[in-house]
Amino acid sequence: MKYFRFLSRIIFPVWLLCGIWSDCLAEPSAPLGNSDKLTIDCGQVKVTIQCARASKDCTQTDLMLQRADGGRLKMKKPRGMEEYTAVGLACVKAGDGAPYIKVEYGELPVGCKFCEWFHLYSTRGEVLTHSVPPVLFIKNAPPTGHQAPNNMEYEKLYDELGLGTPHPKMNYFQHQYPDYFQHQH
């Protein structure tokens, strides 16, 4: 009987509220694969890629940060990435142990041969790198021979912070496009 009262007074109201506000329970930190969200832990925060509400086919994503106090923030795109969307996440640690959020930007659902832009964010959600212009035109640049993603600020800051090698394994938001990620990465 006590167990039933516990369920009816505590668990049921929490379950009911979570049905209304789906953000109230902690999200898993392991990649969710073919779903509507990908969440990772980074320091004291959780970072989530999810389908943008306005994108019915999920070709655009939102990047969300959840602080330890439960507050949430929609993270801004770096300059140059306005036409692209977040597709991958990793948490990297600087030489001094400070965590940084690494985000890969690309195109959904089709992708392209050189669309791998990487950007760093602080664990407060601040954009630390940009890609202006997003595409560099370089003679004989791999893989397309003349175009390459502009990752110059990312590479410079990555080295300055002592984030090390090898680069961390990315976790990819796959939703309904798992083939894109199998071919690109």
Extents of the domains making up the chain: 27-184
Cβ atoms of residues 17 and 41 within 8 Å: no
Query: Of the candidates 86, 107, 92, 72, which has an alpha carbon nearest to the alpha carbon of residue 173?
Result: 86
pLDDT tens figures, 103-125: 999 988 777 766 789 999 999 99
pLDDT value at 167 more than 90: no
pLDDT value at 9 more than 50: no
Query: Of the candidates 65, 103, 110, 64, which has an alpha carbon nearest to the alpha carbon of residue 87?
Result: 103
Query: What pTM was estimated for this model as a whole?
Result: 0.76
